[in-house]
Amino acid sequence: MSNEASRQSRTAKLASDLRQFWSEPWFAILTMILAGAILLFIVTPVFAVLYKSFGMDASGFTLDYYREFFSRTYYFDSMMNSLGAAVISTIIVVILSVSISLYVTRSTSFVSRFYRGAALLPLVAPPFIFSLSLIILFGRNGIVTSVINSTFDVEFSIYGFWGVVIAQVLGYFPIGYMLVESTMRNMNPSLEHASSDLGASQWKTIRKVTLPLSQTGITKAGLLVFVMALADFSNPLIIGGGEPFLASEAYLLVVGQQNLEQAAVLGVFLIVPSLIIFIFQTYILDDSGLETISGESGASNAPLSRRVKTVVMTINTLFVSFIILMFVMVVLGAFVKIIGINNTFTLEHFQNRNGWDSLYTSVFVSFVAAILAATIGMLQGYLFARKPIPGKKALEFLTLFGLAVPGTVMGIGYVLIFNGSPFFLTGTVLLIVLNMTFRKIGVGLEASISKMHQIDTSMEEASSDLGSGPYRTFGKVVVPLLSPAFIAGFIYTFMTAMVSISSVIFLIAPGTNLAAVYILNLAEQARVGMASAMSFVLIVIVLSCMGLLKYIEKKTGVSI
Amino acid sequence: MKKLITTTLIISAMLVLAACGDSGSDGEPLQVYTHNDSEEMDAMVQDIEENTGVELDVLRLSSGEGWSRIQAEAPDVGADMQIGMLHGFGIKAEEEGHLLPYESDEWEDVPDKFQQKDGEWYGTSFWYNLIAVNEDIMKEKGLDVPQTWEDLLDPQYEGEIVLPDPGTSGTAFLFVSTIMQIMGEEEGWEYFEQLDENVGQYTKSGSAPAQMVAQGEYAVGLTWDQAVYDYIDEGYPITDVIPSEGVGYSLDVAWIFENTDQPEKAKKVMDYLGTQDFMELSAEYRSMVTKPGITDDSGLEESFIDYDAQWDADNRDRIMKEWQDKFSN
């Protein structure tokens, strides 16, 4: 009986939700378009990969490709390599992030700001750039290698598993660092003060207070780095020296053999860990508990004691110098004939029309994708936070999931779906834009939802009480309030799109080649000079765009 | 703030229009696949555009990569034309009916063996396999310069040889095919199994080994002629070795795809590829071109084996499948 009643009330609620949903028809239609787009551009590609991994539509359901996966040590090795490299990279990134964050959050000196800037620098470069620098320095005939070999009489080579790990640490460090740093910054310093007032040494305070308090942030950072490192495909290609890794192997299976089924199986093994981590992070990892103790206290963190500072600063300085060294190698590599072998100054690496064309395409495509992603994210955030939309939890989940899907899987999925009717988009710029957009709208969405939750509905109510319709209210009240979320979505999408590669590499065509893909292609031809030159220009472009935004921020007073 | 958003939206709209306007001047640029190296192709594209007025959009893919892409896309291939590809793939593409026949007058003085009967494909230049050797590294490590294909199996080269992957690289497939044609398949497979022991790394592109050997990353690399000569010209400590058993060679061919929607432009470009001007430019990047009287290839022919490109076309799928089974990749 009570069951019956609850069911009735549920139905009634759904009916009233639906009525309300339709009371603003434009928003309703928009929501449906959005939902359709999310399904088409995020969900279907993933399912297409899953479907293909069972050999469907070629030979009917078969487990042959899975059997192949397990029967060959080669594929199994690729999984172990990918997982192993990701775990080790993650651990190193977390340790380094904590070390640099400890210092940066407790000092406002120039050095601290410089370290912070340098630590974030890898964000603006294609993720595989460090592989190139590493080869220049530590390759079999690298500048440092020759010294090591002659001094220690050993045969040292960077190619292989450890090269990939080092490249991943450098490339994915900023992602982990940003999360750890923001957690540590938001921590209430009075707890640390209490600990030290009670006589604990700073080591003990860090171990017993600071780290436990930042545990959630650190875990999140670690998981994110793990997912990205697992999906990394460009570093294994350049510096892997033939060691198999899941993502690069999947890519080679597609481009070298057109064996989409086997590639799909590898894709499934990429996506399962990512999905588990994503669900764990979204539903199980609880980050609300510790927020209560944060907040304004006026006090600032105690500066590091001498002993702690010595240790932390040694690690930091070494790491930051290493990052800078990597970038210096790229810049030098761009301006000399062949770095380390023939160091004559030259500008010839910049005379590369196809390279400049691809840079132009990259800027254009990334810009459009960033505008789209930020707009959609903002709109979606507003609708999801304020409107009674049936199934919005599921849609939100799917949108955020788009961020976690390994690029290689998404790329293969796009190839599978858009290479025929009803949506024949292969080879078009549009497909690249859509791919970049829908993989990233999650960031704008998350920012918008959290912003919407901070804003009381009273402003919107006031606007509507004064006679504005819902659309006018949205345009005049909500959009200005959400502009920081828009900008966050824009910046993130633009930066990542400029250097993204794993997904779009499957989608390029003559005339729509992208800078990052082009640079990877040069690296494959071992054209270090040209690759460095194009990377250098790419980095300069991304940095100038960021500079421009900072300038706008200052001029308009909007915080970015 | 709202203004800022509006401004960005307007700018982006303008960008879109600008991009459309770009290509709108004379229809779409001609879309081209190539396996040529970026540097060489860049110069060629500029030259073609200046002399024909046809704008080109180029995508570089290693031969194997390009071929599997063509097969996946056919019959709706994503390009109008291919400039630079393996001879064997030209034969295959013709057999599978992907090519648009066009009899060009400009190609008349090029010998018949360098073009398909009805003008399905045309050969612009030749290239062949070479072994690149870094002299400094050889001295330093006390290695002998290999003189034959057989020499490469010597254990002294363990980990010192860099080879392209025949799955993606045409250079590597030419090598595989050469060994098979010299030794026969059974012995050929034995050869590669032994060679695998000495290989330090397989690369995706056939030119990469030349640069890696030039840089001293590896002592010995299997690559192709011009890739090595470029570095020799620039003064790197490398030499080329033509193994005494002879090397395989391949014609570099160009063709028009059957499904092109701009056949007139493609034909114009094809005409230009056969001219003295283009062949001369091509000769700057290649040791031999097909138009008579431009490059001096006397003496070279003795080093060539009696290479059968048709064998290539007929057996590639099978050989590559076995290769992947044996070497897992």
Residues A370-421: tens digit of each pLDDT: 999 999 999 999 998 888 888 888 898 999 888 889 999 999 999 889 887 7
Distance from CA of A296 to the nearest CA of B (A): 28
Asked if residue A278 and residue A396 are part of one domain, the reply reads: no
Asked if residue A267 and residue A416 are part of one domain, the reply reads: no
Distance from CA of A332 to the nearest CA of B (A): 16
* Partners of B133 in beta bridges: B220, B239
Report the C-alpha gap between A127 and A125 in whole angstroms: 6
Taking CA atoms, what residue in B is nearest to A156? B217
Angle ∠(B28,B29,B35) on CA atoms, nearest 5:
140
Residue percentage of chain A with pLDDT more than 90 = 37
Q: By residue range, what is the domain housing residue A191?
A: 63-292+300-335
Q: Is B268 part of the contact surface with chain A (CB cutoff 8 Å)?
A: no
Taking CA atoms, what residue in A is nearest to B78? A427
Token match 């570093």: residue?
A235
Whether pLDDT at B6 is above 70? no
Residues B84-119: tens digit of each pLDDT: 998 989 999 999 999 999 999 999 989 888 888 889
Asked if B59 and B79 touch (Cβ cutoff 8 Å), the reply is yes
Torsion of CA A151, A155, A160, A164, to 10 degrees: 0
Please state the rounded mean pLDDT for residues B288-317: 85
Q: Is B328 part of the contact surface with chain A (CB cutoff 8 Å)?
A: yes
| SS3 of residue A304 by DSSP | coil
CB neighbours of A59 closer than 8 A, spacing ≥ 6? none
Q: Is B207 part of the contact surface with chain A (CB cutoff 8 Å)?
A: yes
Closest CA to A503 of A407, A430, A413: A407
Residue percentage of chain A with pLDDT more than 70 = 95
Measuring CA to CA, how many Å separate A92 from each of A98, A192, A319, A465, A506? 10, 25, 11, 55, 31
Report the C-alpha gap between A164 and A82 in whole angstroms: 10
Residues A40-85: tens digit of each pLDDT: 999 999 999 999 999 876 667 888 889 888 888 888 889 999 999 9
| Contact yes or no for A252 and B168 at CB 8 A | yes
Closest CA to A188 of A99, A304, A301: A301
> Is A105 inside any structural domain?
yes
Closest CA to B297 of B111, B42, B170, B43: B111
> Is A9 inside any structural domain?
no
> Is A14 inside any structural domain?
no
- pLDDT score of B278: 94
Asked if residue A154 and residue A34 are part of one domain, the reply reads: no
b/e code A478-516 from CB counts within 10 Å (16+ = b): bbebbbebbbbbbbbbbbbbbbbbbbbbbbbbbbbbbbb
What is Dmax (Cα atoms) for chain A? 88
Residues A471-530: tens digit of each pLDDT: 888 888 888 888 888 888 898 899 999 999 999 999 998 888 999 999 998 888 888 889
- pLDDT score of B269: 95
Identify which of B1, B45, B200 has the shortest CB distance to residue A353: B45
Q: Would you tell me which residues 149-188 of chain B have a C-beta closer than 8 angstroms to some C-beta of chain A?
A: 165, 167-168
Bigger pLDDT: A111 or B299?
A111
* Partners of B238 in beta bridges: B134
Asked if residue A139 and residue A106 are part of one domain, the reply reads: yes
Please state the rounded mean pLDDT for residues A157-178: 92
Q: A367: which chain B residues are within 8 Å (Cβ-Cβ)?
A: 12, 15
Asked if residue A372 and residue A323 are part of one domain, the reply reads: no
- State the pLDDT confidence band at A291, using cuts at 50, 70 and 90: very low
Asked if residue A101 and residue A168 are part of one domain, the reply reads: yes
Residues A333-382: tens digit of each pLDDT: 999 987 877 788 989 889 888 889 999 999 999 999 999 999 999 999 99
DSSP codes of every residue in A376-405: HHHHHHHHHHHS--TTHHHHHHHHHHHHHS
Identify which of B12, B168, B216 has the shortest CB distance to residue A256: B168
Closest CA to B274 of B38, B45, B114: B114
Residues in chain B: 329
Q: B61: which chain A residues are within 8 Å (Cβ-Cβ)?
A: 255
Asked if residue A251 and residue A122 are part of one domain, the reply reads: yes
- pLDDT score of B65: 86
> Is A131 inside any structural domain?
yes
User: In the structure encoding, which two tokens stand for residue A117, read together?
Assistant: 């800037």
Whether pLDDT at A538 is above 60? yes
* Partners of A250 in beta bridges: none
* Partners of B66 in beta bridges: none
Asked if A211 and A217 touch (Cβ cutoff 8 Å), the reply is no
Asked if residue A358 and residue A283 are part of one domain, the reply reads: no
Which CATH number is A456's domain given? 1.10.3720.10
Report the C-alpha gap between A346 and A335 in whole angstroms: 5
Whether pLDDT at B83 is above 70? yes
User: In the structure encoding, which two tokens stand for residue A76, read together?
Assistant: 């199994």
Please state the domain count of chain A: 2
Distance from CA of A267 to the nearest CA of B (A): 17
Q: A341: which chain B residues are within 8 Å (Cβ-Cβ)?
A: 214-216, 236
Please state the rounded mean pLDDT for residues B22-41: 78
| Contact yes or no for B45 and A354 at CB 8 A | yes
> Is A10 inside any structural domain?
no
* Partners of B199 in beta bridges: B161
- pLDDT score of A289: 47
> Is A524 inside any structural domain?
no
Closest CA to B240 of B212, B285, B210, B218: B210
DSSP codes of every residue in B57-77: EEEE--HHHHHHHHHHHTTS-
Q: What is the pTM of this model?
A: 0.86
Half-sphere exposure of A423 (CA within 13 A, CB side): 13
Asked if residue A306 and residue A390 are part of one domain, the reply reads: no
Asked if residue A41 and residue A74 are part of one domain, the reply reads: no
Identify which of A244, A342, A510 has the shortest CB distance to residue B57: A510
First-to-last C-alpha distance (Å) of chain A? 55
CB neighbours of B198 closer than 8 A, spacing ≥ 6? B152, B153, B154, B155, B157, B158, B159, B160, B161
Report the C-alpha gap between B44 and A513 in whole angstroms: 18
Torsion of CA B158, A233, A419, A354, to 10 degrees: -80
Query: B247 φ, ψ to 5°?
Result: -115, 155
> Is A38 inside any structural domain?
yes
What are the E-state strand segments in A231-361?
A: 336-338, 342-345
Torsion of CA A363, A369, A375, A381, to 10 degrees: -130
> Is A508 inside any structural domain?
yes
Angle ∠(B160,B161,B164) on CA atoms, nearest 5:
150
User: In the structure encoding, which two tokens stand for residue B2, read together?
Assistant: 């709202």
Residue type, A2: S
Taking CA atoms, what residue in B is nearest to A244? B329
Residues A439-473: tens digit of each pLDDT: 999 888 988 888 888 888 888 888 888 888 888 88
Whether pLDDT at B17 is above 60? no
Asked if residue A283 and residue A187 are part of one domain, the reply reads: yes
Report the C-alpha gap between A207 and A542 in whole angstroms: 38
| Contact yes or no for B208 and A252 at CB 8 A | no
| Contact yes or no for A364 and B15 at CB 8 A | yes
Burial of A466 (0-12, 13-18, 19+ CB in 10 A): exposed
- pLDDT score of A293: 47
Report the C-alpha gap between B73 and B80 in whole angstroms: 12
Identify which of A140, A342, A525 has the shortest CB distance to residue B208: A525
Give the least confident one: A260-274, B25-39, B87-101, B170-184. Answer: B25-39
User: In the structure encoding, which two tokens stand for residue B277, read together?
Assistant: 């001007």
Residue type, B69: R
Token match 């308090």: residue?
A213
The ipTM, to two decimals, is 0.78
CATH numbers and ranges of domains, chain B:
29-125+251-295 (3.40.190.10), 127-249+304-327 (3.40.190.10)
Distance from CA of A255 to the nearest CA of B (A): 5
Q: A234: which chain B residues are within 8 Å (Cβ-Cβ)?
A: none
Asked if residue A181 and residue A95 are part of one domain, the reply reads: yes
Identify which of A249, A426, A556 has the shortest CB distance to residue B4: A556
Distance from CA of A75 to the nearest CA of B (A): 9
